[in-house]
Amino acid sequence: MKAQILKLLRAENGVVSGQALSAELGISRVSVWKHIKKLREVGYGIRSFPNGYQLLRSPDTPFAWEFPGREASIFYFAEVDSTMDIAKELARNGCPNLTVVVADRQNKGRGRLNRKWLSDAGGLYFTLVLRPEIPIILSSRISFLTSMTLARVLREMFDIDARVKWPNDILVNERKICGVLSEMEAEADRVNFINIGIGVNVNNDPSRSEPQASSLKVLLGRKIARKDFLRSFLDEFEAQLHKADLDRVISEWKRYTVTLHRRVRIVANHDVSEGTAVDVDANGALILQMADGSRKKILYGDCFHRDRKL
Ligand code: BTN
């Protein structure tokens, strides 16, 4: 109902009478008033006139009703420990493909390799529950599809040079803007669910504690509507999933990468490898050319670019 009220108020761009709203929505005027009251309580600026209501401003909060067609599959929270935990519970309880858990802040945001993910207000933190019908061996391609889609949407929406760093960081001017974390549960050799957690530095500024990171607001010099970005990303990601051409994901991803043809250092637990990144194989492993001419396949780790692009 809130989605419909907002749609009518936005369409008019002026005052809409309570009578028109109640007739259009098939509810009483008291009911309309109650929804308007609720919308005001969560931050919408709605002015009352003797003859109706006018929407003056909307908060940049990813309430489910701001995503027409996806209302039932978006779970919004102001604050959580981690959207990964909630998504895992939902997934184990059978929630459908493309369920989204999104939060304004996380107290225990998680990054890859057991790191913390700073989750201050202003950023966009969400986890997608995916149920692809694929064998486990192909599951890593979903993370590559995610990072590639993030880079693509950022480029299209903001005209910025968004790139991917192996495996799935999104950088602009060598600064990290987004991170991707995946968690999977499987039975036998089939995927039960893959949860993809995405943290986007939008209107926050992580650079004080993470000098290598930046945000869209810092880059563009203006505030960005998180809900517009989330909407565009979900639409594009869903379209990409339907194309389901997982054979082409890595070659597409390579078009956006800044890792290949560079000297890199990969740190995985206590193992450090240095070499030139020469390729990424079909399942996302990084191929390093070592100083002695041999090749090494790297399955996971932290990647540090050692030089400027060759
Ligand atoms: C990384 O680059 O290390 C991955 C960061 C992933 C962060 C996101 S924010 C939403 C989701 N919830 C979490 O706790 N982590 C992921």
Q: How far is the CA of 176 from the centre of ligand 1 (A)?
A: 13
* Alpha-helical regions (H) of the chain: 2-12, 18-25, 29-41, 83-92, 140-158, 216-220, 226-243, 249-254
Please, what is the Cα angle at 296 between 294 and 298, to 5 degrees?
Answer: 170
Say yes or no: 185 and 151 in one domain.
Answer: yes
Say yes or no: 143 and 214 in one domain.
Answer: yes
Q: Are 204 and 215 in contact (CB under 8 A)?
A: yes
Residue 26 sits in a domain of what CATH number? 1.10.10.10
Say yes or no: 241 and 173 in one domain.
Answer: yes
What is the arithmetic mean of pLDDT over 132-161?
Answer: 95
CA dihedral 171→256→111→133, nearest 10 degrees, is: 160
Q: Is 87 in the pocket of ligand 1 (CB under 6 A)?
A: no
Say yes or no: 96 and 203 in one domain.
Answer: yes
What does pTM read for this prediction? Answer: 0.94
Q: Are 180 and 196 in contact (CB under 8 A)?
A: yes
Dist. CA 235–CA 128, nearest whole Å: 13
**Is 310 inside a domain boundary?**
no
Question: Tell me: the pLDDT tens digits for 85-104?
Answer: 999 999 999 999 999 999 99
Q: What's the pLDDT score for residue 189?
A: 84
Say yes or no: 78 and 204 in one domain.
Answer: yes
Burial (CB count within 10 angstroms: exposed 0-12, middle 13-18, buried 19+), residue 93: exposed
Q: Which has the higher per-residue pLDDT, 88 or 2?
A: 88
Please give the residue range of the domain that contains residue 49: 2-57
Say yes or no: 293 and 210 in one domain.
Answer: no
Judged against a pLDDT cut of 80, whether residue 126 lies above it is answered with yes
Q: What's the pLDDT score for residue 12?
A: 85
Across the chain, mean pLDDT equals 94
Question: Tell me: the pLDDT tens digits for 16-72?
Answer: 999 999 999 999 999 999 999 999 999 999 999 998 999 999 999 999 999 999 999
DSSP state of 207: G
Question: Tell me: the pLDDT tens digits for 224-275?
Answer: 999 999 999 999 999 999 886 888 999 999 999 999 999 999 999 889 999 9
What is the arithmetic mean of pLDDT over 274-283?
Answer: 95
Q: What's the pLDDT score for residue 246?
A: 84
Q: What's the pLDDT score for residue 270?
A: 83
Say yes or no: 106 and 244 in one domain.
Answer: yes
Judged against a pLDDT cut of 90, whether residue 309 lies above it is answered with no
Say yes or no: 100 and 225 in one domain.
Answer: yes
Please count the residues of the chain: 310
Q: What's the pLDDT score for residue 244?
A: 67
Dist. CA 131–CA 193, nearest whole Å: 5
Say yes or no: 110 and 246 in one domain.
Answer: yes
Q: How far is the CA of 292 from the centre of ligand 1 (A)?
A: 36
Q: Is 165 in the pocket of ligand 1 (CB under 6 A)?
A: no
Percentage above 70 pLDDT, the chain: 99
**Is 236 inside a domain boundary?**
yes
Q: How far is the CA of 199 from the centre of ligand 1 (A)?
A: 5
Q: What's the pLDDT score for residue 243?
A: 84
Q: Is 115 in the pocket of ligand 1 (CB under 6 A)?
A: yes
**Is 108 inside a domain boundary?**
yes
Judged against a pLDDT cut of 90, whether residue 13 lies above it is answered with no
Say yes or no: 178 and 249 in one domain.
Answer: yes
Residue 84 sits in a domain of what CATH number? 3.30.930.10
Say yes or no: 168 and 191 in one domain.
Answer: yes
Residue to probe by mutation, ligand 1, list 77, 79, 125, 212, most atoms within 8 Å of CB: 125
Q: What's the pLDDT score for residue 310?
A: 45
Say yes or no: 100 and 84 in one domain.
Answer: yes
User: Around Cβ 287, how many Cβ atoms within 10 Å?
Assistant: 16
Domains in the chain: how many in total? 3
Q: Is 127 in the pocket of ligand 1 (CB under 6 A)?
A: yes
